[in-house]
Structure 1
Amino acid sequence: MRSPLLRTVGVAVTAALVQLVMIVAFSWPAARVAPRDVPIVVTGPQAAAVAQRLDRVSPGAFDIATRRDEAAARAALTDREAYGAIVTGPSGLRVLTASAASPVVAQQLTALAQRLVQNADGQAPRGPTSAVEDVVAADPDDPRGSGFGALTLPLIMSGLAAATLLTFAVRALAWRAACTVLFAALGGAGVAGVAQNWLSLLPGPYPAVAGVMALTILAVTGTVVGLAAAIGRPGIAVGGLMFLLLGNPLSAATSAPELLPQPWGDIGQFLPPGAAVTLLRSTAFFDGAGAAGPLVILAAWTVGGLALQTVGGLRGRVEPDTASDREPVLA
């Protein structure tokens, strides 16, 4: 039998390790934010020269494509094919941004505009300087996207908390699944209402925004409920680690996937938090452009959660604590 001293030391060391993991998980992606193959487009008579200049000024920072004219460049932004565009012409350079896609990238492109018009010797530019136009702007009440970025963490945490509550309070598989769906529907409607009507963080049609919120909640809560049903109480911890410590920092809610260290930025888009952020941006600001991929990912997680619940029911492991003789809240 372990001595109290060994148990005390073991608990303290474990808690310290968990703390370190949490600090690294949340701080490391933010500390390593930098452009990495960020998609942008260039157009106009000096497009090739500007692309070469970009490679020299910021090597590896941008994935540059050429468009035939300014209209096509603007379409690339509204279709979520690029984060920004550089339009060249007789009057100088103009930079088009889409701060709704990422305020951080928009700020970086704005700062880059002045560097692009400098002479090769580093002197101040002669002639017209660049102008910046925000083609798809963030919500005017949240221009820096701070409020939008703050939505993800409470959404995931509340989904995990609800999954824990449902797992322990509702024993019957059918009732637990029904409660999960009801919670997602109510939660999606409520969060969308607060985000749009009170906090004014998101534009777009309310039913679509509420649907994205509900699907996100269903993907997170349903998966954790399914994990608990399939493997017992450790499933809750697995879900928390996967969605809170991994998914949330890699969601790019306050930046962009291309700004995170790779391949982690791409991995984050295959987890519910990252997929939810991308889908919410597409729904609220871009009329659904680029929504297909994250929609499929969230749907897949939802179906996976349902499958896990079914597996748990077939294995007779719906009750997370089989040794408990407590009466069920819902039979």
Structure 2
Amino acid sequence: MHETDETAPGGQSPPPAPPETTWARFRKGPWWPACVLVLILAAAAGLFAGSYTYTMANPTPRNVPTAVVGGYDQARGNAFLTGLGKALDASVRVHTYDSRAAALGAVENQSVFAIFELRDEGRRVVLDVSSASGSSVAELLEQAAPAVGKETGVAVTVRDVNPLQDGDPRGLAIFYISLAAVIIGFVGAIQLSVHARGLTPMERIAFTVAYSLLGGFAIAAIVDWLLGALDLPFVESWLILALTMFASGMTFTMFNTLFGRWAMLPTWGVMILLGNPSSGGAVSWPLLPSALGVIGQWLPPGASVNAQHTAVYFAGHQHVFPFLVLAGWALVSCAVFWTWRHRHPGGRDKKPPELAPDAAAA
């Protein structure tokens, strides 16, 4: 055998390759993504704490829609409403109604959070709060209205026309079950991408539907049948939870298609950092910063809370909007995943395996 003499065209040996720099070795090794993750996790921890503290630690009324019936145009009644707005450091958005029945209908439709019925030319006020509409708003009004009544010489009587269920005295159970559906929804999609990487696109969607239906049933059954925390309209609540889980899972799958291994970042941002604090589940939307109160209704956590809240406490007055939001996220996510499914890191080769050389020779 003859050794080949690799020489340049001019008969000279090629110059040796420059030595790899430390930075190049660092970028190729496992330390680079590990360092990036350290920075991302630190930032995520700070943003997580900041977003929840900003929205929930000190809820402040900004725009509370209320119904007014009776002598609201009398001097004393007008002074009471003005004083209430100052006491809450917010504008009490007043909607006038001709009768208490019409005002109660507005409460059931969740257009207003309370009813001020001014009697005896504004000398007496009956305040009907609705804890089911928002326990934090009802609590604020229950505290502020009697104090303002003393200052303005108005006698105030407070009643709760739509109280919370006994197993959910703080009104947080709906937020918790919606949060569980959101988190397990995208965590399930993450686990499918790790442990069932070979699923085809259609199989991946089918299994997301499967764990969403089963998971939604488990959440509803445990909270209602086992714990008795909420008396749920079972089928409706189950399907809302299942749709929430599916929308959340497919949102991660969409981001995994678009961003690969960094898909968790936009998923966490949309669902946890932004979606959950602005959902209105822990703090009613009139007490949230106004922008978050609007944005939250267009995200899966807020839509899930709204749909579930209406199903549990306002039967017969369900709105289509939260279902459109959940369905929209699910459909858009499926469409993006299906259109660019070749970019998704999962899937398997549909071609038959090649024969081994010995088998081919036989």
| TM-score under structure 2 length normalisation | 0.79
Distance 2:218 2:283 in 1: 25
Distance 2:214 2:37 in 1: 39
CA contact (8 A) 2:236 2:311 kept: yes
CA contact (8 A) 2:88 2:144 kept: no
Secondary structure of the 1:87 match is: strand
2:138: which partner in 1? Answer: 106
Report the aligned-residue RMSD: 2.5
Aligned AA (1:165): Q
2:323 to 291, 295, 304: 295
Please give the residue correspondences for 1:115-194 in structure 2 after superposition, counting only pairs within 5 Å.
115-120=147-152, 125=153, 129-168=155-194, 169-170=196-197, 171-194=199-222
Larger Rg: 2
Aligned AA (1:16): A
Secondary structure of the 2:65 match is: strand
Distance 1:240 1:312 in 2: 22
Q: Aligned pair 1:217/2:249, yes or no?
A: no
Give the CA deviation at 1:43: 0.8
Q: Which moved more, 1:278-287 or 1:164-173?
A: 164-173
1:291-323 CA-to-partner distances (Å, cap 9, x unmatched) read 22111111111111211221222xx1232599x
Per the alignment, do residues 210 and 14 of structure 1 end up closer, same or farther by CA in structure 2, a change over 3 Å counting? closer
Give the CA deviation at 1:260: 0.8
1:57: which partner in 2? Answer: 87
Q: Which moved more, 1:286-295 or 1:159-168?
A: 286-295
Per the alignment, do residues 294 and 39 of structure 1 end up closer, same or farther by CA in structure 2, a change over 3 Å counting? same
How many percent identity over aligned positions?
25
Distance 1:15 1:149 in 2: 25
Distance 1:311 1:16 in 2: 34
2:19: which partner in 1? Answer: none
CA contact (8 A) 2:113 2:129 kept: yes
2:129 to 89, 97, 114: 97
Please give the residue correspondences for 1:1-331 in structure 2 after superposition, counting only pairs within 5 Å.
1-2=22-23, 12-46=38-72, 49=78, 50-90=80-120, 92-120=124-152, 125=153, 129-168=155-194, 169-170=196-197, 171-313=199-341, 316-320=342-346
Give the CA deviation at 1:136: 1.6
Secondary structure of the 1:263 match is: helix
CA contact (8 A) 1:283 1:291 kept: no
Distance 1:14 1:305 in 2: 25
1:263-302 CA-to-partner distances (Å, cap 9, x unmatched) read 1121111110011111111111101525221111111111
Per the alignment, do residues 43 and 13 of structure 1 end up closer, same or farther by CA in structure 2, a change over 3 Å counting? same
Distance 2:316 2:337 in 1: 31
Distance 1:218 1:317 in 2: 21
| TM-score under structure 1 length normalisation | 0.86
Per the alignment, do residues 149 and 10 of structure 1 end up closer, same or farther by CA in structure 2, a change over 3 Å counting? closer
2:9: which partner in 1? Answer: none
Per the alignment, do residues 199 and 37 of structure 1 end up closer, same or farther by CA in structure 2, a change over 3 Å counting? same
Distance 2:313 2:223 in 1: 14
Gaps of 5+ in 1: 323-331
CA contact (8 A) 1:42 1:51 kept: no
